Chains A and B, each alone.
Chain A
């Protein structure tokens, strides 16, 4: 069974640029959630995708957007990068539409630094 993978592992961008982060969900999982973890803090929910549709969104501006593909892999796109976007971005997959009782399995994250 393949776990959740994310790419790239590290990324450096400058303010105003755009970035795309990628996530491959665990085999058999159809739901992907994205979280932002600032240094020294707990993860904050960005949004979730279920069967290629957005299925809930946290308190993040529209410049944070996403996609989910037919194979259930996902992308997180951030436009007009700001310094405060520097964080660890985690994706998590689950197998049943993100039901409240489900366990979410996390990837290793992408560390984004905005200069």
Chain B
């Protein structure tokens, strides 16, 4: 079974600085998709960024980028120029085929002003 591990229960970053959230996953598949979701205190899960495993190029969305290392099964999220609104729970998720997303346990990100 596929598993997703987020080893950092909590991270802190100073406003305007950069932070990296870690994620590793376990799968025997070669074709899959990886996602980072943000869940603020309002509870609504919002997609931050996605990565297709067949693409070597790391995905980027404005201040958010990933470091995808397929051989190492690692998928970290880098947030640049951190803002107070970035404070939330961040979930890494995996999807191979069909329907279900497999989520990690999450990392709480705190942003200090």
Interface set of A (CB-CB < 8 Å, partner B): 31, 33, 35, 40-45, 48, 50, 55-56, 58, 88, 90, 92, 98, 100-101, 103-109, 111
Contacts and interface: CB of A to CB of B under 8 A. Distances in A.
Contacts, number: 65
B64 to A, nearest CB: 15
Interface residues of B, number: 27
B11 interface: no
Interface of B: 4, 32-33, 35, 37, 42-47, 50, 52, 91, 93, 95-106
A36 B38 CA distance: 16
B53 to A, nearest CB: 10
A48 B97 CA distance: 13
A42 B106 contact: yes
A43 B42 CA distance: 16
Contact of B44 (A40, A104, A108, A111): A108
Nearest to A90: B45
A104 B101 contact: yes
A103 B50 contact: yes
B91 A100 contact: no
Contact of B91 (A43, A101, A103, A108): A43
Given A41-B106, A42-B103, A43-B103, A56 B44 contact: no
Given A100-B95, A101-B33, A103-B50, A45 B100 contact: yes
Contacts of A100: 32-33, 95-98
A87 B52 CA distance: 31
A108 B103 contact: no
Given A40-B105, A50-B99, 12 more contacts: A43-B45, A43-B91, A43-B103, A48-B99, A88-B43, A92-B45, A98-B98, A100-B96, A100-B98, A104-B47, A108-B42, A109-B44
